[in-house]
Structure 1
Amino acid sequence: MAIPFRPTGTIPAALLPFTADFAIDEAAFRAHLRDLASTPGVTAITVNGHASEVASCTFDEQARVMALSAEAVGGTTPLVAGVYTESTLEARRIARMSEREGASALLVFPPALFVLGQRDEMVIGHFKQIADASPLPIVLFQYPLARGEGYRLELLSKLCDQVPSIVAIKDWCADPQLHEHHIRTLQGRARPVNVLSTHSAWLYCSLALGCKGLLSGAGSVIAGLHAELLDAFQQDDLARARAVNDRIYPLASVFYSAPWVDMHNRMKEALVMLGKLPRSVVRPPLMPLGDHEKQRIRAALLASGLLR
């Protein structure tokens, strides 16, 4: 039975290592998961998300990722499984598979179709179908409204009313004012829905507003620093929070620089430099990084104190 999920704390999104011929490197993935799970402050691990290049993975590969994750750390650490698809019917299939393979919660991505517009009943129906397929707690992935895939705060409130299995949102609204509205409104409900920040480019500011946790791809590299920063805010220790953020800032500035499509590519390269991954292979259309990018990553690791 999967470990119960609590929507709080530091939840890194795992990377997915590949061999030179683009197959899943199962040994490297297990080692990566165990490294994350052993980090103090980590409360769960997300798999089959952006950080694990889910867009390039088949359904069978996603099922294998879930099985490997459960084998490696499922006995000690809750697993949050991404539900990434255009289709509500496929989302139901992924939800059932994830539950069967040992997930403790689901991270539901918005269908990209919503960039063309969305009706409230369409969005609510999508989540109700997923909740009907699996009783697992749901973390709703909130995108920026400007992209078209984000949900208005009024709609978020409706979703939380009508789909009780929604226990948190992964907030990537990219708007500090709206982010604070999310925190105050959703966490202030009679049945609170926690806000997990994924504003990793400005995490210090985000956590200062009162998020209950964070869910971030950068946690694949700096989960320990993320946990320290969250703890500092929870202890109202602003001086310590500033000191930790000074270490996070160099890496966040490199990871989340243009083009953003390379963010997880850069994180893989950082783990190779730290001796935690054997190679930094990414699947096309992503491409290997050039020497200049690698130099920037190395300089950031040095500045953060992670590489000596």
Structure 2
Amino acid sequence: MTKFIGTGVALITPFTADLKIDFDALQKLVEYNIENGIEYLVISGTTGESVTVTAEEKKELVKFIAKVNNGRLPLVLGIGGNNTAAVVNEIKTTDFSGIDAILSVSPYYSKPTQEGIYQHFKAVSEASPIPIILYNVPGRTSSNMLPETTLRLAKDFKNIIAVKEAGNNVHQYLELLRTKPKDFLVLSGDDDLALGVALAGGSGVISVIGQALPKEFSEMIRLGIAGKAKEAYDLHFKLMPITGLIFSENNPAGIKAVLEALDISKSHVRLPLVEATDKLKENIKNALTVLGKS
């Protein structure tokens, strides 16, 4: 699935001051990323505050982004949860027109065994009419999908084409890359490790910071995939400070503060998240100034 090689971005959901979806800002964000070299867009992931976006709002987001995108980039839609029956039902009742793949998170909170994770994704695979990207993020799910489970799924189900690995665990990345099927994609979900994963044979990243600095970040990943380590690390070192800052309080408050500083959208988030502090916003503005972005 070459369309998912490179940099995808986990889009935020911009809000107005009264916490309604800001569609003007969303259009601006989508156009900005398309114009600056991003390979694909991810809708309704964690960064999109999917847990506080209603089912009706999610449909509106998908319809709007698909309209703005107008077929220019592949689109990935987040559909996941810890109620397998509910996830399967959402898949069966979703209109996937214009959607190229599903991003589905490993079940959270319930802390299933590895066999439970396998059976969950087996059900998701059997329900899905389009390709699936698995999403392993132990820091949010409290459960680590081990490489052997990921690779068992990859081998058993043809429509499971990739994993977004976000365990911040270098050894686990390398184990996946060492033993994966030839055509299975390992995508970084950790912005700080994404270049190393690309250089080691990964297929790219689903990024948070990439949507704010799409030109620089996507070029860094392309250089990494091409094995041009020196040129890629020159960009990586420049981006390190801002990448660290956006995760210092919570996601997506940090990236929303960056996008506000870039005059793309506002920094409003829905509870239980709170906006970035004034101190973080100041540090972000300073980091952007160093990058020549403000």
Aligned-pair distance for 1:5?
7.1
Task: Specify the alignment match of 1:224 in structure 2.
Answer: 215
Q: 1:207 to 1:235 in 2, by over 3 A?
A: closer
1:5-48 deviations in Å (ceiling 9; x for gaps): 723111011111011111111221122112112222x2210010
Residues in 2 aligned to 1:214 and 1:126: alpha-carbon distance in whole angstroms? 24
Task: Specify the alignment match of 1:37 in structure 2.
Answer: 34
Residues in 2 aligned to 1:298 and 1:199: alpha-carbon distance in whole angstroms? 22
1:29 partner amino acid:
L
Residues 154-169 of structure 1: pairs in structure 2 closer than 5 A:
154-169=148-163
Aligned-pair distance for 1:300?
1.3
Q: 1:97 to 1:147 in 2, by over 3 A?
A: closer
1:160-185 deviations in Å (ceiling 9; x for gaps): 12221111100112211121111121
Say whether 1:251 aligns with 2:242: yes
Aligned counterpart for 1:296 among listed residues 258, 269, 283 = 283
Question: Are the aligned partners of 1:104 and 1:137 in contact in 2 as well (CA < 8 Å)?
Answer: yes
Task: Specify the alignment match of 1:172 in structure 2.
Answer: 166
Aligned positions, number: 294
Residues in 1 aligned to 2:6 and 2:274: alpha-carbon distance in whole angstroms? 33
2:113 partner amino acid:
Q
Residues 237-276 of structure 1: pairs in structure 2 closer than 5 A:
237-257=228-248, 259=249, 262-276=250-264
Q: Give the structure-2-normalised TM-score.
A: 0.92
Classify the secondary structure of the residue corresponding to 1:292: helix
Task: Specify the alignment match of 1:200 in structure 2.
Answer: 191
Question: Are the aligned partners of 1:99 and 1:136 in contact in 2 as well (CA < 8 Å)?
Answer: no
Task: Specify the alignment match of 1:118 in structure 2.
Answer: 113
Aligned-pair distance for 1:207?
2.5
Which 5+ residue runs of structure 1 have no aligned equivalent?
Answer: none
Task: Specify the alignment match of 1:52 in structure 2.
Answer: 48
Residues in 1 aligned to 2:96 and 2:19: alpha-carbon distance in whole angstroms? 26
Aligned-pair distance for 1:119?
4.4
Question: Are the aligned partners of 1:99 and 1:134 in contact in 2 as well (CA < 8 Å)?
Answer: no
Classify the secondary structure of the residue corresponding to 2:20: coil
Question: Are the aligned partners of 1:251 and 1:304 in contact in 2 as well (CA < 8 Å)?
Answer: no
Aligned counterpart for 1:87 among listed residues 83, 96, 107 = 83
Aligned counterpart for 2:11 among listed residues 8, 11, 14 = 14
Residues in 1 aligned to 2:114 and 2:190: alpha-carbon distance in whole angstroms? 26
Aligned-pair distance for 1:83?
1.1
Q: 1:59 to 1:195 in 2, by over 3 A?
A: same
Question: Are the aligned partners of 2:107 and 2:141 in contact in 1 as well (CA < 8 Å)?
Answer: no
Q: Give the structure-1-normalised TM-score.
A: 0.89
Residues in 2 aligned to 1:142 and 1:57: alpha-carbon distance in whole angstroms? 21
Aligned-pair distance for 1:234?
2.9
Percent of aligned pairs sharing the same letter: 23
Residues in 2 aligned to 1:142 and 1:201: alpha-carbon distance in whole angstroms? 16
Question: Are the aligned partners of 2:132 and 2:159 in contact in 1 as well (CA < 8 Å)?
Answer: yes
Residues in 1 aligned to 2:91 and 2:209: alpha-carbon distance in whole angstroms? 25
Classify the secondary structure of the residue corresponding to 2:3: coil
Residues in 2 aligned to 1:218 and 1:287: alpha-carbon distance in whole angstroms? 19
Residues in 2 aligned to 1:180 and 1:234: alpha-carbon distance in whole angstroms? 15
2:60 partner amino acid:
R
2:207 partner amino acid:
S
Which 5+ residue runs of structure 2 have no aligned equivalent?
Answer: none
Residues in 2 aligned to 1:75 and 1:7: alpha-carbon distance in whole angstroms? 15
- For the aligned residues, what is the CA RMSD? 2.0
